[in-house]
């Protein structure tokens, strides 16, 4: 296996419920952390690095989390870049471990977005307080989050001839994977979907219009949920309960509106080459692609920008169920069901790391035979607008 083995994912846990009652986000984080440490065969006392994205809304969130969990970490990181935060955290944990500042890092996430009835995609994006250099030019026009993604989809269709049906293929693939995942199936039922089944391109293309051209089934779910990931140094990793999943390469980037900029190009075009170059692997060697799927257009553009196909060729690339787990010749896409059909509590990056790890352990419900390499790519913010990208290449011995 190429790439430096300086840190590995050794423990994971995904909170099973997508509709939570009587628990706070902090409690979900704590329970997920406990179970992830148990999965690794480690204890609270082993943790010396703590990473938090501030999703609970509590001030000084990383310090508060350390107190809540009874930890006194040597490394404390509260990087918050939306849904890509956890890919950034994985990269930072690897650097801290490589530098000898820590041996066991803990990443956690918890959200009660559905219980709180948050209008994540359709609520107005108007900031409060004093005007900012960008808000004063944007807030008066009231664009929604999904409106920004719809603009990218419209531009991609106009510029490259991408069709609604090609976008729909992504939702069809992730739903097929979700139907193999009992937790995803239960999630669909719990949030009120009455006809829980695999879907067709026609189902997606004729579902309710939300922001042209994106329809209801082009959009992620809104759920509760959480999870945790434990990352360890090699001397710890080789004595944990499961096969280590090594972090081979990482990349971080950001993008924002620019005069003459191309909104169909995401920050993945910067972070992807960094990660693949560091890992010493090519996109065509990847077995599993865990790509942030807030909307179908998110996946399409990121697949292009990571180098799985050329810019503008994403529509043809995803046709015919090519990215299903049981179709060799292309990476399996979001094999847990993704944000489109399993869970999306607001920031989904941690679940990309969790499912990629399951695949490389051979424990997924849509298992790719002998999976050896995976990419987890998080996108935080708004595609076609201000956003961050984190790319992590994972591999097993």
* Both tokens assigned to 115: 């219980």
CB-CB neighbours of 297 under 10 Å: 28
SS3 assignment, position 128: coil
pLDDT in tens, the chain (397 residues): 577 899 999 999 999 999 999 999 999 999 999 999 999 999 999 999 999 999 998 989 999 999 999 999 999 999 999 999 999 999 999 999 999 999 999 999 999 999 887 666 555 555 556 777 777 767 777 678 899 999 999 999 999 999 999 999 999 999 999 999 999 999 999 999 989 999 999 999 999 999 999 999 999 999 999 999 999 999 999 999 999 999 999 999 999 988 899 999 999 999 999 999 999 999 999 999 999 999 999 999 999 999 999 999 999 999 999 999 999 889 999 999 999 999 999 999 999 999 999 999 999 999 999 999 999 999 999 998 899 999 999 999 8
Closest by Cα among 164, 144, 143, 137 to 153: 164
CB-CB neighbours of 180 under 10 Å: 18
Predicted confidence at residue 246, as pLDDT, reads 98
Gap between the Cα atoms of 267 and 255, Å rounded? 5
Task: Fill in the DSSP letter of residue 179.
Answer: T
Predicted confidence at residue 396, as pLDDT, reads 96
| Composition of the chain by helix, strand, coil, percent to 5 | 40, 20, 45
Task: Fill in the DSSP letter of residue 124.
Answer: B
Gap between the Cα atoms of 193 and 128, Å rounded? 35
Predicted confidence at residue 140, as pLDDT, reads 72
SS3 assignment, position 34: helix
Cβ(43)–Cβ(106) under 8 Å? Answer: no
Q: Which CATH superfamily is domain 8-116+222-396 in?
A: Thiolase/Chalcone synthase (3.40.47.10)
Predicted confidence at residue 25, as pLDDT, reads 95
CB-CB neighbours of 378 under 10 Å: 33
Task: Give the H or E element holding residue 361.
Answer: helix 349-361
Q: What pTM, to 2 d.p., does this model score?
A: 0.96
Question: Any idea where the domains of the chain sit in the sequence?
Answer: 8-116+222-396
Q: Is omega for the bond preceding 132 within 30 degrees of 0, making it cis? A: no
Q: Would you give the distance in Å from CA 236 to the centre of its chain?
A: 26
CB-CB neighbours of 377 under 10 Å: 30
**Which residues fall within 8 angstroms of residue 320, CB to CB, at 6 or more apart?**
169
Predicted confidence at residue 134, as pLDDT, reads 72
Gap between the Cα atoms of 290 and 304, Å rounded? 14
**Using CA of residue 83, residue 85, residue 86, residue 90, what is the dihedral sign?**
positive
Within 13 Å of residue 352, how many CA atoms lie on the same side as its CB? 33
> What ranges make up the beta strands (E) of the chain?
8-14, 49-51, 75-77, 104-111, 209-211, 214-215, 225-232, 245-255, 288-291, 332-333, 373-381, 387-396
Gap between the Cα atoms of 163 and 176, Å rounded? 21
> What ranges make up the beta strands (E) of 193-279?
209-211, 214-215, 225-232, 245-255
Predicted confidence at residue 150, as pLDDT, reads 96
Q: What angle do CA 105, 37, 275 make, to 5 degrees?
A: 40
């Amino acid at each position: 296996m190429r790439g430096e083995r300086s840190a590995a994912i050794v423990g994971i846990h995904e909170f099973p419920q997508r509709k939570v009652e009587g628990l706070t986000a902090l409690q979900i984080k704590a329970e997920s952390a406990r179970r992830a440490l148990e999965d690794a065969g480690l204890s609270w006392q082993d943790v010396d690095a703590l990473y938090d994205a501030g999703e609970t809304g509590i001030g000084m969130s990383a310090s508060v989390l350390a107190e809540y969990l009874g930890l006194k970490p040597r490394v404390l990181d509260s990087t918050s870049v939306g849904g890509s935060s956890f890919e950034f955290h994985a990269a930072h944990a690897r650097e801290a471990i490589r530098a000898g500042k820590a041996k066991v890092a803990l990443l956690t996430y918890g959200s009660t977005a559905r219980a709180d009835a948050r209008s994540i995609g359709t609520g107005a994006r108007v900031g409060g307080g004093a005007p900012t250099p960008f808000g004063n030019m944007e807030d008066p026009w009231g664009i929604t989050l999904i409106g920004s993604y719809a603009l990218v989809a419209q531009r991609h269709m106009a510029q490259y001839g991408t069709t609604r049906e090609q976008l729909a293929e992504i939702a069809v693939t992730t739903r097929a994977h979700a139907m193999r995942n009992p937790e995803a199936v239960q999630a669909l039922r719990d949030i009120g979907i009455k006809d829980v089944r695999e879907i067709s391109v026609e189902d997606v293309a004729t579902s309710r219009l939300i922001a042209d051209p994106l329809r209801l089934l082009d959009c992620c779910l809104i759920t509760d949920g959480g999870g945790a990931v434990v990352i360890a140094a090699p001397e710890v990793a080789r004595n944990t309960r499961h096969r280590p999943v090594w972090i081979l390469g990482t990349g971080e980037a950001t993008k924002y509106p620019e005069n003459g900029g191309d909104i169909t190009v995401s920050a993945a075009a910067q972070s992807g080459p960094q990660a693949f170059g560091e890992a010493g692997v090519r996109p065509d060697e990847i077995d599993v692609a865990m790509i942030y799927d807030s909307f179908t257009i998110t996946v399409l553009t990121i697949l292009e920008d990571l180098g799985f196909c050329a810019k503008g060729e994403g529509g043809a690339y995803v046709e015919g169920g090519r990215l299903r787990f049981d179709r060799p010749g292309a990476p399996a896409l979001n094999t847990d069901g993704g944000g489109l059909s399993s869970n999306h509590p607001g920031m989904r990056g941690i679940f990309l790391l969790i499912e990629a790890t399951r695949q490389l352990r051979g424990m997924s419900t849509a298992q790719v035979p002998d999976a050896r390499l995976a990419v987890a790519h998080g996108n935080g913010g708004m595609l076609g607008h201000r956003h961050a990208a984190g790319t992590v290449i994972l591999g097993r011995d």
